[in-house]
Every structure is written in C-alpha cells, then in structure tokens.
Amino acid sequence: MPSNSNSNSLSMQKVSFSYFNGLVLKDIELSITDGEMVGLIGPNGCGKTTLLKLASGVLSPIRGEVWLGGVSLKKLSRKKVAQHVAVVPQYFNIPFAFTVDEVVLLGRTPFVSAISGETRRDHELTAMALELAGISRLQHRYFNDLSGGERQKVILAMALAQEPKLLLLDEPTTHLDISHQVEMLELVKRLNREQGVTIIAAMHDLNLASLFFDRLILLKEGIIAADGSPREVLTETSIQEVFSASVKVSQHPVTATPHIVVLPRETSSN
C-alpha cells in the first residue's frame, strides 16, 4: 500500500488493462503526488484515455491496483470517488435543453442528498465555478447553443463544481482554436497553482504539453516509455522512437521549454 495518504495523490502498481482485442496498458507503475501537474502524451491508441478511466474508477484493471490517497479504488464507492475526482471528457453531449448553470450544477450530484435535494451551498459553488471558468455571463444560455470553446469551459466548470482534489482531463484542447487552447490550459494551470488541484491531462499537442506541464509521461503501446520534465522526455530520439516522426527539438525563445518542429519526410531523409 502506498505510504502517501493525501487524497489527491494517485498511484498505480503493476496495472494492466485489456479490451477484447488485447492489452492496452501493461504493468504500469506510476506515482503522482499532491499538487502535481502531469501531461500524458503519446500516439493515438497508446492508452492515454484508458489510463484516465482507470484513475477515475470507470474501468478496473485486470491486474494490479489503483490507489487514491493511499486507499484502493476497489474499496471506494463510485459516489465517494466522485467526491474527490472530477473528469473533463473529450466529448460531452447534452440531449436536452439544459442551460449552462443547470449543466454546471450537475457537478454537485455526488454531494446532493436524495432526500433534501440541492442546498444553497450547491448553488453557491455552481456560481463560483462559473466565475472561476470565466463564463458567468453564459449561465442562462442553452448549452447546445454555445461554441466549442464555450462548451469546453462549461464542462470544466461542471468539474470544478465538484470541488475536486484530482482533476482528470482527456485532451481538453481538442477542436479548440489557438486562443481557446491557451486560455483553457492557463485556467487549468491556475487551478493547480492557486487551488492546489492535482492535474492529469491527456495531451495531443506536444508543444502545448511542453509549455504548460511540469511533468510529462510518454506512453508507447501501453507502457511508459519516458517520465520526467519536458526537457527530459521531449527529445528527438524519444519522439522518433514513439511517434515514428522526424523532428527538430529546439528551445522555446520565451519559456526555454522544448519546442518541436516536425520535419517533412523528404527533408529528413536528405
């Protein structure tokens, strides 16, 4: 059993998982401590989303154990997990005409009593989440009428209404333009710095991952290929081996973090 008893720490011990078509994750050993901001990177199908689902308890490993704050997820109810862990999925659909504040209020579900219903505190936290995400002005708009960037902020606000200690995000910048990508990640980073929320996010864009995350975990075919700072993980060799792409890694002119430029195949072969 992990010695760290903080409720926002996450550990995986020899965790494996498979769908019907074979192993997706293989003997994952992972420890993420209180207040870290971690980016999961790797090619499509490497296991990033599956790892997040295991961390949230949506999936259970076929081997190994997942620990949240020193307690096995096997011993926690779904409601108890949801009182500590919030998830921002890659896709989120609302089939009904819900307003933004109604969607965000759904984040309070793990805390709402079936007898007494929502309390003033639930509505106060919903308003705070809307303000924190910068979307108070949208609270009476219908969710399905919003742009992609606005919807993503609403989903994040719904997660914030849970008052999570651990926030899991599955490619939060997908389908967003550059401005909204940066805005979303700046908000997530602020939550980490100011609120102490532990962040684990699956990222597709390596340069954004390098800019915003202190620690990166590189997955390849279900195993951890590299784990460390962006400078340690984002090397030309590791990217070539994992993504089968030729790149040039230089230093970002402002942040000094690694900056990746993809080379055309005909150029890299010359």
Place of tokens 């967003």: 176
Give the whole-angstrom CA distance, residue 118 versus residue 109: 9
| Of 118 and 157, more confident | 157
Tokens 């019907």 sit at which residue? Answer: 20
Domain containing 221 equals 1-84+164-233
State the pLDDT confidence band at 3, using cuts at 50, 70 and 90: very low
pLDDT tens digits along 159-217 = 999 999 999 999 998 878 898 899 999 999 999 999 999 999 999 999 999 999 999 99
- Do residues 168 and 75 both lie within one domain? yes
**Measured between alpha carbons, how far is 10 from 65 in angstroms, rounded to an integer?**
11
- Give yes or no: residues 55 and 43 share one domain: yes
Does residue 135 sit in the same domain as residue 168?
A: no
For residue 214, what are the β-bridge partners?
Answer: none
What is the CATH classification number for the domain harbouring 26? 3.40.50.300
- CA-based end-to-end distance of the chain: 52
- With vertex at residue 159, the alpha carbon angle to CA 148 and CA 179, rounded to the nearest 5 degrees, is 35
123 and 45 in a common domain: no
Q: Considering the domain boundaries, does residue 238 fall inside one? A: no
Is residue 238 over pLDDT 90? yes
What is the DSSP code string of 178-204? HHHHHHHHHHHHHIIIII--EEEEE-S
For residue 218, give the nearest of 231, 205, 234 by alpha carbon. Answer: 234
Q: What is the pTM of this model?
A: 0.91
Dump pLDDT digits (tens) for 32-68.
Answer: 999 999 999 999 989 999 999 999 999 999 999 999 9
Where does 33-165 show beta strands of DSSP type E?
Answer: 37-41, 63-68, 71-72, 85-88
124, two tokens: 């106060």
Cα 154 to Cα 68, 141, 180, distances in angstroms: 26, 11, 13
